[in-house]
Amino acid sequence: MDIVAMVNALPGWVKEMGIVLLSATPEEVTCEWEVSEKHHQGYGIVHGGVHCGVIETLASVGAAVVAHPRGQHVVGLENNTSFIRAVRSGKLRGLAKPVTRGRTSQVWEVWIRDEQEQLVAQGRVRLLCVDENRALG
């Protein structure tokens, strides 16, 4: 299964936001997107929810790459995102790396940087690993 192609082809929030997944391994997940008006809040800067969503997405993809071969799904339990620098335009890149990839839970850290490699946002997501035959929700 090519997770990068699969995520990039899915309809929904990631596609609507113009986020392109670049890589996804158990060690690292990356993406990029071009900031436009659809990402802005009222002051004309990227909405914090966009940063939270990208951080959640990258952590979830990374955790899934680890969990799926074990017959598990992952669901997010906690997303702690800090907004460091306001952005109005340009290309942003996200990078996720695991803190822990345990049997029942995982923690991933994510950094979002601008074209000058300045930190824009960073976050940590805790995810639950659930057996694939268990109903979610």
The domain ranges of the chain are 3-131
Angstrom CA distances, 43 to 34, 75, 82, stand at: 18, 32, 18
Q: Is the predicted pLDDT of residue 1 greater than 70, yes or no? A: no
Q: What is the pLDDT of residues 49-76, one digit of tens each?
A: 999 999 999 999 999 999 999 999 999 9
Angstrom CA distances, 81 to 29, 41, 89, 121, 132, stand at: 17, 17, 20, 7, 28
Q: What is the mean pLDDT of the chain?
A: 96
Angstrom CA distances, 2 to 16, 27, 105, 130, stand at: 21, 16, 23, 21
Rounded to whole angstroms, how far apart are CA atoms 76 and 74? Answer: 7
- Exactly one of 28, 56, 115, 132 is catalytic; name it: 56
Rounded to whole angstroms, how far apart are CA atoms 128 and 107? Answer: 9
pLDDT at res. 131: 95
Q: What CATH code would you report for 3-131?
A: 3.10.129.10
56 noted as active-site residue: yes
Rounded to whole angstroms, how far apart are CA atoms 5 and 25? Answer: 13
Tokens in use for 111?
């950094």
